[in-house]
């Protein structure tokens, strides 16, 4: 299975396991993460989930050869980016969280990262846009100009600066993101489950209207960009490992 589930008392650890592609998402990984999150949300004994990609990397985003499959009914893109979380989910990030990988982290409730982690939205380098929440969750989690820079340049944001800017909740030494995320998860799991659930629901609802507008604006931009010559060129150049030749159309 491309997603392993390990129950540790009231905490579920969900581990992405497609190492040969640095946990880049194809349809099978999207379906597996969706199923794992559905099982977590539907099991009353589980109160918090930790999502990890392991000790080397979190996720390289979409597999641009296979693509990430269709959005799921409950989870949306990647099985999580469109999900209205019913229980807290904590991202434990080691290494890269690029493109969709960063958007997945932005979809969670909290982020724990090691000092060697990095976050990026490199889609413009492929002639594409951040399609799975980055356009509106990025500016929500970061100062606007920082988010704008990431979206327009595709440059990475290191974990230490991300922590200083408030994106990352807890910063750890390399290899310690998962243990720290588990400690945070257990701290939450010790609190009253109804109070935690209703607090999370209120926070989710607070941004629901903005999210709907954000998805609509993203879809409009996606339609324009996906049909462009630059998008075809960007993806082709990536696959062929060469510099793209942009046409601006």
Would you please indicate which residues are annotated as catalytic (active-site) residues?
Answer: 103, 123
Q: How many CB atoms lie within 10 A of CB 73?
A: 10
Determine phi and psi for 226, rounding to 5 degrees: -60, -30
- Are 62 and 100 in contact, with CB atoms under 8 Å apart? yes
Q: Which helix (H) or strand (E) holds 52?
A: strand 48-52
Tell how strand 48-52 and strand 89-93 pair up.
Answer: parallel
Provide the token pair at 36: 């794992």
Provide the token pair at 16: 């992405």
- Are 10 and 48 in contact, with CB atoms under 8 Å apart? yes
Nearest Cα to 134, choosing from 117, 149, 114, 115? 149
- Are 85 and 65 in contact, with CB atoms under 8 Å apart? no
Bridge partners for 3 per DSSP: 16
Provide the token pair at 37: 């999150």
Give the span between the Cα atoms of 187 and 130, in whole angstroms. 33
Give the span between the Cα atoms of 60 and 104, in whole angstroms. 10
């Amino acid at each position: 299975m491309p997603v392993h589930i390990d129950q540790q008392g009231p905490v579920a650890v969900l581990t992405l396991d497609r190492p040969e592609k640095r946990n880049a998402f194809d349809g099978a990984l999207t379906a597996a993460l969706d199923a794992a999150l559905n099982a977590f949300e539907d099991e009353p004994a589980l109160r918090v989930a930790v999502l990890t990609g392991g000790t080397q990397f979190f996720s390289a985003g979409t597999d641009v050869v296979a693509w990430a499959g269709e959005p799921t009914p409950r989870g949306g893109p990647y099985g999580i980016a469109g999900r209205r979380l019913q229980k807290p989910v904590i991202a434990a990030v080691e290494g890269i969280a690029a493109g969709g990988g960063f958007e997945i982290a932005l979809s969670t409730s909290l982020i724990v990262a090691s000092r060697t982690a990095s976050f990026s939205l490199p889609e413009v380098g492929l002639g594409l846009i951040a399609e799975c929440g980055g356009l509106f969750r990025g500016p929500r989690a970061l100062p606007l100009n920082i988010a704008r820079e990431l979206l327009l340049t595709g440059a990475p944001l290191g974990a230490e600066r991300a922590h200083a800017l408030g994106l990352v909740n807890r910063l750890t030494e390399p290899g310690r993101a998962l243990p720290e995320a588990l400690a945070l998860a257990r701290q939450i799991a010790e609190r009253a489950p109804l109070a935690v659930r209703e607090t999370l629901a209120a926070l989710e609802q607070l941004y629901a209207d903005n999210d709907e507008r954000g998805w609509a604006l993203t879809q409009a931009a996606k339609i324009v960009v996906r049909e462009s010559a630059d998008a075809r060129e960007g993806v082709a150049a990536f696959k062929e490992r060469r510099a793209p030749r942009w046409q601006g159309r």
